[in-house]
Amino acid sequence: MTTVTATPADDRVATRSVAASFLGRPEIGALVGAVALATLFLLVAPAFRSVGNIGTILYGSSTIGIMAVAVALLMIGGEFDLSAGVAVTTSGLAAAHLAWYFSLNVWVGVAFALALALGIGAFNGWLLHVTGLPSFLVTLGTFFVLQGANLALTRLVAGGVSSNSLNDLDGFDGAKAVFASSFDLGPIEIKVPIAFWLVLTVVGGVVLLRTHYGSWIFAVGGDPAAARAVGVPVIATKVALFMTVGFCAWLLGMHNLFNYNNVQSGQGVGNEFIYIISSVIGGCLLTGGYGSVVGATVGALIFGMTQLGITYAGWDPDWFKTFLGIMLIAATLVNLQVKQKADAR
């Protein structure tokens, strides 16, 4: 038997310092960015300093963050979902059209939308598996299919570009209370999607780091062949990740529906990139196998702060997208740098 004394610890491999371990966390770049951005806006935008606006900023962030959590998990699992933006609109429209057309209890529409959203996710995962194509192409296809269906079916059912109002149907008040209510936390108005967002972040983070499913997600993104060889159910894991995106799209879709009483059929296009950018700012590698749910949430917060901060500071909001692009590139560079430094220690 080989003993420890026969082979002493390899002194070429030193233990990493606590600081290096901390800096090696994937979300650290996003945290630094968020603090820097908050400081900037606190200095230049007086409205940003008002406590009451915290609720507004968090609400804006939550409408991105709910999806960013799921998209980050999917990216760590090595895949993209370009249909995530329009899927939010699709689930809202599905609930609205079904309930309105047949004058049903809105909860029937809500349940149907959930089944549809999960089904779209499962379909994306299944198609990926069957065709062996990159998810970029497969979900690009789904994106266009859903975008077209949103417009065409809305014109067919409601005769326009928005779904009909549901507020005289049974169950509307209950559904609004669940998906689009708000409560006060001291001087801050907390809209319910903020709570969804935080719960999803905690659940997603725990699943990723503290359960075996998290290990599987990292493995199928990092090296799917190795994961399969040691016995990870690669296809099932990826399908589950796409369905998680579907679930979150449903949740956000229901909020949009009951918050505004109707859904515009053209909404959601382009949002898929915002979710991906939030995840990347939060430390997810585009190649999969590395990233953080908490990071994606901080990434979404950066979006929310920027969106409102630019307005509060009195700058031209047209610059928003430019600013986002710069943030994305900066975040990618910071992540790369931090990761190399951490690995080198």
In the complex, the residues that contact other proteins under the rule CB under 8 A are: 1-2, 4, 6-10, 13-16, 21, 206, 210-212, 214-216, 218-219, 222-223, 225-233, 285, 289-290, 343
Report the nearest approach of other proteins to the CB of residue 6 (Å): 7
Nearer to other proteins, 51 or 344 (CB): 344
Whole-number minimum distance, CB 7 to other proteins, in Å?
A: 4
**In 144-160, which positions are buried (b, 16+ CB within 10 angstroms) versus exposed (e)?**
eebbebbeebbeebbee
CB of 296 to other proteins, least distance (A): 17
Nearer to other proteins, 26 or 92 (CB): 26
* Least distance from other proteins to the Cβ atom of residue 120, Å: 26
Question: Looking up tokens 């995530």, which residue turns up?
Answer: 84
CA distance 203 to 299: 17
Q: What is the DSSP letter of 16?
A: P
Measured CA to CA in angstroms, residue 134 lies from 12, 31, 151, 311, 312 at distances of: 40, 31, 27, 39, 41
Kindly tell me which of 115 and 226 has the beta carbon lying closer to other proteins: 226
Q: Are 271 and 146 in contact (CB under 8 A)?
A: no
Task: Compute the CA torsion angle 281, 125, 216, 196 (nearest 10 deg).
Answer: 50
The DSSP 8-state label assigned to residue 183 in this structure reads E
Nearer to other proteins, 6 or 51 (CB): 6
Instruction: Report in angstroms the alpha-carbon separations of 216 from 146, 220, 293.
Output: 30, 6, 15
Distance (Å) of CA 81 to CA 213, 254, 275: 20, 20, 10
Judged by beta carbon, residue 174 or residue 222, the one nearer other proteins is: 222
Nearest C-alpha neighbor of 302 from the set 43, 36, 44: 36
Q: Least separation, in Å, of the C-beta of 338 and other proteins? A: 14
Residue 131 identity (one-letter amino acid): T
Which CB, 58 or 342, lies closer to other proteins?
Answer: 342
The least CB distance from residue 16 to other proteins, in Å, is: 5
Q: Quick check: helix, strand or coil at residue 185?
A: strand
Q: Which single residue is written with the structure tokens 């859903």?
A: 146
Q: Could you tell me the smallest distance in angstroms from the CB atom of residue 70 to other proteins?
A: 19
Please tell me the distance from the alpha carbon of residue 132 to that of residue 210, in angstroms, as a whole number.
30
Which C-beta is closer to other proteins: that of 205 or that of 309?
205
Residue number, 289 or 299, with CB nearest to other proteins: 289
Report how far residue 289's alpha carbon sits from residue 214's, in angstroms, rounded to the nearest whole number. 11
In whole angstroms, the minimum distance from the beta carbon of 41 to other proteins comes to: 34
Q: How far is the CB of 84 from other proteins (least distance, A)?
A: 24
Q: Which one, 321 or 341, has the nearer CB to other proteins?
A: 341
Q: Do residues 78 and 71 touch, judged by C-beta distance below 8 A?
A: no
| CA dihedral sign, ordered 102, 120, 278, 185 | positive
